[in-house]
Structure 1
Amino acid sequence: MDSTVSVSKGCFVFKPKDEGKKGKRKKYHDVLDFSSTMWYKPYSNLWKIIETKLKKINKTVSDVVLHDIESYITECDTSTGSIPTAVLLMGVNLPDHNALLTSLALELQLQNNHVALLQSENCNSVKNIIEQTVAQFLKGTKIQDEEEMMDFDYDSSDSDEEKTNIKRSDCSLPHLLLWYNENKKNEKENSSHCSKLVIILKDFEGFSSVVLEDFILILSQYSKSLPIVLVMGVATTVSAVHRTLPHNVNSQLNMRLFQSKPSVYFLNNTLDNVFLKVDCPFQLGSRIFKFLTDVFLYYDFSVDGFIKGIKYCLMEHFYSSPTSVLCCLQAELDDNIDSLNEDQLREFQKLSSFQSYIHKKSKQKQTKNFSSKSVMKEELKKLMRELWLRVSDFHLLVRLLQILVGDLPNAPLGKQIREIYSEAVSVKITNNSGYNECFKILGFTAKNELLNKLKKMTKVLEETSCKSERIKTIEKKLKEFCVIIEMVGFGPVNNTPTKSPSKEKFNVTSRAQFRERLEKMSQSNKPKNEYEATRGEFLNYLKDEVFDKTLVPITSVPLHEVILFDDISSIKSRIIGTPRAAVHTALNNPHHYLQCDCCKLTNDGEILSTMPDICIAYKLHLESGSLINMFDWLQSFATVIDPENVQKSDRREISSHIQARFTQAVAELQFLGFIKSSKKKTDHVSRLTWGGSV
């Protein structure tokens, strides 16, 4: 900024010398190096375990559609004149498309196919899209797991051994045809499989329809000579392809439709098998969990964004809390407790849940626990084991409750485990009105339906390896009920005559009470058969003995702060961001981001001539009302830019150079949405925003 006049004139690049560059890198590396901190190692170990599970699960989920596309590309006939095209519907979760299509490209390359990954931002014209396609084929770019080699240096002067420079003149389809024929002679492969040229359009809707139309028509001329296959990543519906391309272009494509799993399926699968499992030490609180799921469901449908949000929560949990050192696998728990020093033990004593636990004990035990280091460690081991058992019981019972109520009409507690988890993790779910409503509906469940649910519940308990005595007792009781319900019939329990409701005396004061009293009497006087009596006994056992007594919120267990993170204030602004506040800060005080001396302000209202033009125009527009006079705005702008010349010359004579800079700044403000043209006055613009960083 010191050696440039205006941001509207262009972008200036200053390459530092090698020594300065190395020094800056070293300094930057030192700032971001967390490896020596106490919290980083347990955080890194835990996240590696979680990340391994995530990759395995996501690969399993996407394997089916990827295998189908690979089989289609392998078996399709490219000599018919039409271009084989796989249209992959992936949904609106755009951030997740990159991972799926990169996995597809990797698999295709392993089968000796040549792959070109194209993105709309790099293909603004037919020339660009052809150059990008041919360059990737000629270079034989290896697709990386999380990176794409999308930008190529065709005429780079750098002599880098790892890069193969390609001239722009070689990036043409005739040259690609020559390259493929030569490459085909040198390839040693089975005659049953020949390598194909696969072109993947990552974001089909982002491409210009004119560019795609010409590109496909040009490719069709080479379809008999080159084994070209197209893969289109579509975010909406297949009709988008037909709307974008005219009939004469669509007729050149032999399209086949593929569809990936919906993003909600990915989310539920990820949560159920990783974060809502018994063996996951890190637990999310109710507020954080609801916030992350709301961002997913109502903002971007991105599982990748959801996982990054959880990763940030995990990092914040370890960074902000010294007690998080015990947020680890059970096998590492005892060793980590033994390695605690006195300062770390004091941090555990400061936890509110631990203090509540200590206050319930006698004063003698309180003094003993606080004074003795060894006793404190033994107490921690005991409490952490109990916490793990409670967390294990909690997750098992949440799954049992989801099996029981997940398919009920209107789903009072929700259909998915994540919905029940978010309600039960912080508060007692048995006090929820939806909980009581679920058991009222379950009172009308048919025998075969109730029996199926009971068998699923017992199966979940049988598959659990580590169970507490509470869970073992519940499992035994459920198996007994399973046998009883399976054997019970529909005969009457007894033949005792019931009194007529009309002979009962009513002590009611309103019609609502009268109706409620009648409903209770009709239910109590209605003769029950054997199944109904057994069903009522079973549901009462689940309601009163299993869920009410055993499904305890994690927040009520001592030391829950060690594994549970629920500080939404520390992560909300960082996950969803505050773009308006960031833009206001950048325009009002550019020194905050540029860190240059020429833009350093002594007070917030100061306007410097060395600031970028858009910042000057923005700060001047803040002083105006709802309508801004363009000439007055220009005069103020010129006064700030060059106050000496403006004072010497006539105010109405402003140089064309300053006018051009002002016009550019106004256009940028209009693009950002701060102003718009006004119909009230021709020489005025309307101001669209009010306030600062709100």
Structure 2
Amino acid sequence: MAHTVSVSKGCFVHKPHNRNKNTPKKQFILTTDRQLWYKAYKRVWSSIEVKLESLQEEVFSEILENLVYYIQKCHKNKASNKGRNEIPSATLLTGVNLPDHDALFAALSSQLHDKVTPYVATLQARHCTTVRSTIEHMVLQLMNYNRFHSDDDLEDVVKDRLKKNQCNFLTLSAWYKEQITSKRLRMSPRKKLRIKPDLQVDKESVLVVIIPNVEGFSPQILQDFILIASCYVTSLPLVFVFGVATAVRTLHRSLPYHVSSKLRNEVFHSQPSSSYLNKVLEKVFLTSACPFQLDDKTFKLLIDVFLFHDLSVCGFIQHYKYCVMEHFFDCDYKVLCCSVSELAPNIKSLSEDQLEKLRQLPSFRRYVDKLPQKEKAPLLVDDDHFRVVLEKLMTELHGYLLNFHTLLRCLHTLTSSLPKSPLGKQLREVYSLAISCDISESPQFRECFQLLGFQSREELLDKLKKVLSILQNVSSDLPVKVSHLKDIHRELSRYYTEIVSVGTKAAEQTLKSPSKVDIGKNINRYQLKEKLLELSRKPKSLSGYEEARKKLLDYLAGTVFPQFLVPPTNTPFNEVLFFSNLAGVKRHIVGTPRAAIHMALNNPHYYLEASESVETHFVK
């Protein structure tokens, strides 16, 4: 019988044997490393990545500091725990953004290693299918703390140091006592006198066990593990850290009273993932320092995936990274998506073909159509002249970006706390509207300024002070022209001084007392109505503060925001900085399982990496 013949129906696939899979990948890497677009992409993303890492440390710092402090102090008062066998534990409420948990617990483990103890074990649910395997993973990580790096090294550690049947609490207790004893033997006699005979007073001897995902653990395994560990808490200073994605009651439901009574629990709350995303956007992506920008549709897609799919900031960052790669891929003129200081050398490095591609951009075409006829020909024919104009227009584009983001933050500061927040409470909501249309013509904008017209003196001064602070923080040594921002700051400072100088008494003095109006006697109802209408048409007298407030709002709504908060499509070469390939992004980051399965069944060679050598036989 042939080797592909079967009694039942079947599908037999024969893949090529002598095929070097690594060759094309190496060739691709070697060629792309020398490409201009790839170097530009690496520079942009590296700068973004540095800011993201710094922000992550800042976001995690507060919750991690509290956790580390608790773990340092939880075994200090051992007398109160004598005879109760309670294990100090911390429950960290992380939220449902599961992909972000790895970064949080990796940062926690790193800080514990640096500040508290070298003995830290992280137990993943996928490795702890039984109580025995749970204890094995914990013991191996604690006893091989200076060698343990990843789950792949676990088997090698077992062969080198221990047998699996030796990975238990008795072995751990004996090893721990030996470690502490050897440490004390290395101490000076003076230091030994200051240390009590209790082994658990040394803060570096705490054994921390981190369980990042309690929901993924089997409740029975978790209960047995805690009960066994509580029997050794007198000889082992154990500390448990539980990561809970939903609520504390999840842990209570998993642990009955006879188990939860063995824990001395403390609850810690991490900030919501939406707050973390807002910080990422406000401090990294929605700034003029980041040359790469998203258009309104792509930005809305990424936000919708975050809010309605996974609530993962890590996922949002990966999607954003894909947009950056798609923006730069195989397009050398995108090297101009850089800082202003790098524009001149990057423009000189462009070839004639790349300059021609820049001339074909729709925004530049619209710009040329508005020029006089005598100025069009040099731009379309003379490359040297085009390079000069290109540098000028790209510098102006960066200036537009600076003005746009600065005044967008000013508008958000003024409107975010208004009733019902017509423009939204978050900066991302204002940004999404501002890049999709002329925000000063929107009904939400007009409603906001109507509400600002009713603001009290104290509230308006507080908001105006924050706006002045935003304008003041714009550095004066930027290579783009910011004189208009300085003018705006100077003008708003004058309005601020004017409003401050208008005191309560001065405002009362400017109010004119209503004069008595002689309506007359013996008039009929129609004459009374006409008289009242005539009185209502007379202009109402305003106080000093109301006049100053009206002038300020007219200046902002009529001059500042309409001039600088215009959509980026109005600026030439906006395609260089703004990414707008919504269809490509949607196809790659939004799952379409039905289409993928259909394609895999029709074209199996696409997934098997074999075009013509795949032989498929259907046998009845």
Q: TM-score, normalised by structure 2?
A: 0.86
Partner of 2:91: 87
1:101 to 78, 100, 105: 105
Cα shift at 1:36: 2.5
Distance 1:132 1:578 in 2: 38
Retained in 1: the 8 A contact 2:158–2:164? no
The unaligned stretches of length 5 or more in structure 1 are 9-13, 158-163, 507-517, 602-606, 610-639, 644-694
Structure 1 equivalent of residue 595 of structure 2: 581
What is aligned with 1:121? 126
Against the structure 1 CA distance between its residues 524 and 93, is the aligned structure 2 distance closer, same or farther, given a 3 Å change threshold?
farther
1:373 and 1:319 map into 2 onto residues whose CA distance is: 24
Alpha-carbon spacing, 1:588–1:84, altered in 2? closer, same or farther (3 Å): farther
Partner deviation per Cα, 1:246-295 (whole Å, 9 max, x = no partner): 00000000100111111111111111111111211111111111111111
The 3-state SS of whatever aligns with 1:490 is helix
Partner of 2:199: none
Q: Which amino acid aligns with 2:210?
A: I
User: Aligned with 1:413: secondary structure?
Assistant: coil
Query: CA 1:273–1:498 in structure 2 vs 1: closer, same or farther (change >3 Å)?
Result: farther
Give the partner amino acid of 1:98: D
Aligned: 1:173 with 2:169: yes
Give the secondary structure class of the aligned counterpart of 2:507. coil
Work out whether residues 153 and 166 of structure 1, in 8 Å CA contact, stay in contact via their aligned partners in 2.
Answer: no
Separation of aligned partners in 1, 2:331 and 2:528: 64
SS at match of 2:203: coil
**Superposition pairs for residues 521-532 of structure 1, below 5 Å?**
525-532=539-546
Change (3 A) 1:416 1:502: farther
Correspondences of 1:119-518 after superposition (within 5 Å): 119-140=124-145, 148-149=150-151, 152-153=154-155, 164=160, 166-187=162-183, 192-319=202-329, 321-465=331-475, 466=478, 468-488=482-502, 489-491=506-508, 492=510
User: Residue 37 of structure 2 aligns with which residue?
Assistant: 39
Alignment CA distance shift 1:552-1:422 (3 Å):
same
Tell me, yes or no, if the aligned pair for 1:113 and 1:198 is still in contact at 8 Å.
Answer: no
What displacement does 1:40 show? 0.6
Q: How far is the alpha carbon of 1:597 from its aligned partner?
A: 8.1
CA contact (8 A) 1:337 1:381 kept: yes
Letter in 2 for 1:558: P
Q: 1:3 to 1:593 in 2, by over 3 A?
A: farther
Rate the CA distance shift 1:141–1:4 in 2: closer, same or farther, 3 A: farther
Compute the displacement of 1:314 (Å).
Answer: 0.6
| Deviates further, 575-584 or 118-127 | 575-584
The one-letter code of the counterpart of 1:109 is H
TM-superposed CA distance for 1:109, in Å, is 1.6
Provide the C-alpha distance between the structure 2 equivalents of 1:425 and 1:205, rounded to a whole number of angstroms: 41
- Native 8 Å contact 2:140 2:157 kept in 1: no
Q: In the aligned structure 1, how far is the partner of 2:411 from the partner of 2:265?
A: 45
Q: Deviations over 1:132-153 (max 9, x none)?
A: 2112223226677xxx536722
Separation in structure 1 between the aligned mates of residue 356 and residue 611 of structure 2, nearest angstrom? 45
> Can you give the 5+ residue segments of structure 2 that lack an aligned partner in the other structure?
9-13, 196-201, 520-524
Amino acid at match of 1:105: S
Percentage of identical aligned residues:
39
Aligned-partner Cα distance in 2 for 1:523–1:91: 59
Q: Is the 8 A contact 1:102 1:143 kept in 2?
A: no
Contact kept in structure 2, 1:117 and 1:150, CA below 8 Å:
no
8 Å CA contact retained: 2:140, 2:158 = no
Instruction: Name the SS of the counterpart of 2:241 in structure 1.
Output: strand
Amino acid at match of 2:36: M
The one-letter amino acid of 1:314's match is V
Residue 383 of structure 1 deviates from its aligned partner by: 0.2
Native 8 Å contact 1:105 1:143 kept in 2: no
1:83–1:228 contact (8 Å) kept in structure 2: yes
How far does the alpha carbon of each residue in 1:493-514 deviate from its partner, in whole angstroms, 9 at most, with x for none? 55686999997999xxxxxxxx
Contact kept? 2:37, 2:330, Cα under 8 Å? no
Structure-1 residue corresponding to 2:569: 555
The answer (yes or no) to whether the contact 1:65–1:260 under 8 Å persists in 2 is yes
Letter in 2 for 1:413: L
Moved more, 480-489 or 110-119: 110-119
Q: Distance in 2 between matches of 1:246 and 1:4?
A: 57
Q: Is the Cα–Cα contact under 8 Å of residues 4 and 617 in structure 2 kept in the other structure?
A: no
Structure 1 residues 3, 580: closer, same or farther in 2, change over 3 A?
Answer: farther
Secondary structure of 1:482's counterpart equals helix
The root-mean-square deviation of aligned C-alpha atoms, in Å, is 3.2
Higher mean C-alpha displacement, 486-495 vs 207-216: 486-495
1:583: how far off?
3.3
SS in 2 for 1:77: coil
Aligned counterpart, 1:624: none
- Deviation string 1:466-521 (CA, Å, 9 cap, x unpaired) is 46222121111100000111112423355686999997999xxxxxxxxxxx9x99
Distance 1:503 1:250, change over 3 A: farther
Q: Distance in 2 between matches of 1:314 and 1:598?
A: 35
Change (3 A) 1:521 1:543: farther
The offset of 1:347, in angstroms, is: 1.2
Aligned counterpart, 2:60: 62
Greater shift, 493-502 or 96-105, is seen at 493-502
How many residues are matched?
577
One-letter amino acid of the counterpart of residue 233, structure 1: G
CA distance change for structure 1 residues 179 and 568 in 2, over 3 Å: closer, same or farther?
same
Change (3 A) 1:497 1:566: farther
Of 22, 37, 43 in structure 2, the residue corresponding to residue 25 of structure 1 is: 22
- Structure 1 pair 230–366 and aligned structure 2 pair: CA distance change class (3 A): same
Change (3 A) 1:368 1:263: same
Give me the whole-angstrom Cα distance separating, in 1, the residues matched to 2:597 and 2:262: 47
Q: Distance in 2 between matches of 1:389 and 1:37?
A: 28
Q: CA deviation at 1:589?
A: 4.9
CA distance 1:181–1:423, shift in 2 (3 Å):
same
Q: Deviations over 1:356-393 (max 9, x none)?
A: 11111122211112221211110011101111111110
Maintained 8 Å contact 1:154/1:168: no
**Contact kept? 1:599, 1:608, Cα under 8 Å:** no
The answer to whether the 8 A contact 1:199-1:228 is kept is: yes
Partners of 2:309 and 2:227 in 1: CA distance: 37
Residues 636-662 of structure 1 deviation map (CA, whole Å, 9 limit, x = unaligned): xxxx5xx3xxxxxxxxxxxxxxxxxxx
8 Å CA contact 2:413, 2:467 repeated in 1: yes
Range with bigger deviation, 429-438 or 31-40? 31-40
Task: Please tell me the residue identity of whatever aligns with 1:566.
Answer: S
Q: Aligned pair in 2 of structure 1 residues 505, 212: CA closer, same or farther (>3 Å)?
A: same
The CA distance in 2 between the partners of 1:359 and 1:578, in whole Å, is 42
Q: Does the 8 A contact of 2:337 with 2:577 survive in 1?
A: yes
Give SS of 1:255's match. Answer: strand
CA distance in structure 1 between the partners assigned to 2:132 and 2:516 by the alignment: 89
Identify the residue that residue 689 of structure 1 maps to in structure 2.
none
**What is the distance in 1 between the residues matched to 2:516 and 2:121?**
80
Amino acid at match of 1:360: K
The structure-2 alpha-carbon separation of the partners of 1:286 and 1:522, relative to structure 1 and needing over 3 Å to count, comes to farther
Q: 1:142 to 1:261 in 2, by over 3 A?
A: farther
Partner Cα separation in structure 1 for residue 132 and residue 97 of structure 2: 30
**Which amino acid in the other structure matches residue 245 of structure 2?**
A
Contact 2:499 2:548 in 1 (8 A): yes
SS in 2 for 1:472: helix
Normalising by structure 1, what TM-score? Answer: 0.77
Q: Is the CA contact (8 Å cut-off) linking 1:141 and 1:149 kept in structure 2?
A: no
